[in-house]
Amino acid sequence: MRHVLIVAALLILSAPVVASSFASSASSAGSATSGSTSGDDKVVLQARSDAAGFVASAGQIRSARLEAALRLLRERSVDARRASDMQLAQAILAR
């Protein structure tokens, strides 16, 4: 049930060189954070598509990844604790 994917993954996806070519959605969608990304930054980066869905749907599409990123931002900063979910989602898109 998983084997097809294993083949595909072995053939193409998992070599690190691939990260800079095909599987580049995260980087090409533009991340302002450069250099080394900490685990926390990765959470926020990975939530970019989820934040875009949230903003585009005026809050209707709300995934666990977005929730995790919002919680993380609020754990890290006082400003984030005062901001609304929509403001924080926009902040993720603005990064």
Chain residues binding another protein by CB under 8 A are 1-18, 21-25, 28-30, 32, 39, 42-43, 46, 49, 51-53, 55-58, 60-65, 67-68, 71, 86, 90-91, 93-95
Taking the C-alpha atoms of residue 58 and residue 50, their distance in angstroms, rounded to an integer, is 12
Q: Would you state the structure tokens that stand for residue 28, as one six-digit string?
A: 């090409």
Nearest-approach distance from CB 34 to another protein, in angstroms: 14
DSSP character string of 22-85: TS-HHHHTT-S--S---HHHHHHHHTHHHHHHHHHTTT----HHHHHHHHHHHHH-HHHHHS-H
CB of 46 to another protein, least distance (A): 7
- By C-beta, is 16 or 35 nearer to another protein? 16
